[in-house]
Structure 1
Amino acid sequence: MATHPAHPAARSLRTTPEGLTWEPSERWVRGRTGDVTVVDSRHPVLVWEPGLPVPQYAFPRADVRTDLLRPAADPPAGTHTGSRVFYDLAADGEVRANAAWTFPAEDLAGHIAFEWFRRADTGLDHWYEEEEEIFVHPRDPHKRVDALSSSRHVRVEIEGRLVADTHTPVLLFETSLPTRYYLPREDVRLDLFQATDHSTGCPYKGTASYWSWRGEGDVPPDVLWSYPDPLPAVAAIRGRLAFFDEVVDITLDGERLERPETPFSGMLRKGTRHR
């Protein structure tokens, strides 16, 4: 009997001449706009484009409501690694421009990819892996996120002023990012910060709310955040507060840590809000 390409025996990362990396997935994935299910697939593939740190899904045509797709009226140029075929999506009483496309790679012929929600109003409204709703982008199977309770001593300073001091942090370890220190509220000088209307979503942690520094100095906005209702896998960070290591001074067990350089560093230096 032939092995289905999504079977574990056939799973491996593969690279196309166009620079795409892709991998079969065993997850049951569904995408919906309004009350209409547009994608229902038990054989998706994850695709990584050059220069993009997060994956996206592509689906066999047979698993897509292609009757809801029409050739794009105004296809974008220079996006999605040379893709030339884009589709507008007509569903639930509205048209979403350039909601779907095909990759030029021979390996991915017969597959259609979709923008995820919150991307320039073109994506679908809801995505699910099995019965769990997924936000922002698909989870990367090669990335790990662990939230561990600790007794390490964490001190945080901003512009030389002590703003947090605790011996009961939760350390969050996330592949390719610096350790984040989630601190009890009672150990943070929250009176020195102002709540903002900014929020971000993370497929691993949930939706975060933010605070900005009230004091003087060259401190970017939204330097402090919290997940009031995190996803179950990181429930230990619920309601705790964390700082951007990139722009504050953290002392861990008496050792001053160097400020890390991350994908957020440039935005923080410019004072722009991260997504």
Structure 2
Amino acid sequence: MPMLPTERSIRTTPEGLLWEPGERWVRGVKGEVTVVDSRHPVLVWEPGLPVPQYAFPREEVRTDLLRPAKDPPTGTHTGARVFYDLEADGEVVENAAWVFPAEDLAGHIAFAWFLRWDSGLDHWYEEDEEIFVHPRDPHKRVDALPSSRHVRVEIDGTLVADTHRPVLLFETSLPTRYYIPPEDVRRDLFVPTEHHTSCPYKGTADYWSWRGGAGVPPNLLWSYPDPLTAVAVIKGRLAFFNEAVDITVDGERAERPVTPFSASLGTRPRTR
């Protein structure tokens, strides 16, 4: 009998955790050792953390590789008190796993992913695809749609991009990003940097900085040279942080949005 939508809804714990049973086959690997091999993962959202994490039934975790943590942290993971160090492939990873302090999740073990760069496993897979940074959120959409809208981008009054061939990328909870063909961007006004970021929905991005005057944040232009299949249409195209540049779409100047990236960019919203 198929599961009804109401039966798949997100649950809430008294501690403020949100969780939902998952249906993907998830594996976590440290070196050459498979530490997690789960067909019954649980997605968990902690208060204040916008992306989900996975917790796994104990029987689907190599618990023989876990040891009580020698120096467990405090005040993390919604008050978790049980932490484990991982010993695998000749390496010890401190506080690599923990148990959430919620009765609903007492039989599950959670692992650090890549939001903490100093810990966690080396590789994670959903089905046979490697996943980076954090688990994908099943309630988040990322749609890349070719368009004929007229998009102009200015920095400090200088026109740096002008196109009628953008790809609009719509990502839940973020402003629309405009991916522009490289020939429609004044690439001579930018210099490549060593900065890179990874996204579980799009892939790994390269960055460029503005060659012009001061006051413009670095790394405000990016591109995905080898994007994931679901957004292959953005391959090689260039996008700007709406938070730091002035974008005009079909003759209408857009407001600069305030997003989680605004603080790191050091930008302030600018309205029409």
Would you say same fold, with TM above 0.5?
yes
Distance (whole Å) between structure 2 residues aligned to residue 184 and residue 120 of structure 1: 33
Distance (whole Å) between structure 1 residues aligned to residue 41 and residue 48 of structure 2: 22
TM-score, structure 1 as length reference: 0.94
> Which residue identity lines up with residue 205 of structure 2 in the other structure?
A
> Which residue identity lines up with residue 215 of structure 2 in the other structure?
D
What does 1:146-165 align with in structure 2 at a 5 Å threshold? 146-165=143-162
Distance (whole Å) between structure 2 residues aligned to residue 87 and residue 8 of structure 1: 34
> Which residue identity lines up with residue 110 of structure 1 in the other structure?
G
Q: Which residue of the partner structure matches residue 273 of structure 1?
A: none
What does 1:1-275 align with in structure 2 at a 5 Å threshold? 8-9=3-4, 10-117=7-114, 119-269=116-266
Report the alpha carbon displacement of residue 266 of structure 1 after superposing the two structures with TM. Answer: 1.0
Can you list the C-alpha shifts for 1:232-257, whole angstroms capped at 9, x where unaligned?
Answer: 00000000000000010000000000
Distance (whole Å) between structure 2 residues aligned to residue 123 and residue 176 of structure 1: 27
Distance (whole Å) between structure 1 residues aligned to residue 117 and residue 26 of structure 2: 22
Report the alpha carbon displacement of residue 118 of structure 1 after superposing the two structures with TM. Answer: 6.1
> Which residue identity lines up with residue 236 of structure 2 in the other structure?
G
Distance (whole Å) between structure 1 residues aligned to residue 185 and residue 154 of structure 2: 11
**RMSD between superposed Cα atoms in Å:** 1.3
Distance (whole Å) between structure 1 residues aligned to residue 88 and residue 57 of structure 2: 19
Distance (whole Å) between structure 2 residues aligned to residue 117 and residue 218 of structure 1: 31
> Which residue identity lines up with residue 220 of structure 2 in the other structure?
V
Report the alpha carbon displacement of residue 171 of structure 1 after superposing the two structures with TM. Answer: 0.2
Secondary structure of residue in 1 paired with 2:104:
helix
TM-score, structure 2 as length reference: 0.96
Question: Across the two proteins, how many residue pairs are aligned to each other?
Answer: 266
List 4+ stretches of structure 1 deviating above 6 A.
none
Report the alpha carbon displacement of residue 11 of structure 1 after superposing the two structures with TM. Answer: 1.6
Distance (whole Å) between structure 2 residues aligned to residue 227 and residue 35 of structure 1: 29
| Gapped regions of structure 2 (runs ≥ 5) | 268-272
Secondary structure of residue in 2 paired with 1:46:
strand
Distance 1:262 1:118, change over 3 A: closer
> Which residue identity lines up with residue 209 of structure 1 in the other structure?
D
Secondary structure of residue in 2 paired with 1:186:
helix
8 A Cα contact 1:159 1:217, kept in partner = no
Distance (whole Å) between structure 1 residues aligned to residue 233 and residue 158 of structure 2: 27
Secondary structure of residue in 1 paired with 2:266:
helix
> Which residue identity lines up with residue 107 of structure 2 in the other structure?
G
Report the alpha carbon displacement of residue 121 of structure 1 after superposing the two structures with TM. Answer: 2.2
Report the alpha carbon displacement of residue 184 of structure 1 after superposing the two structures with TM. Answer: 0.3
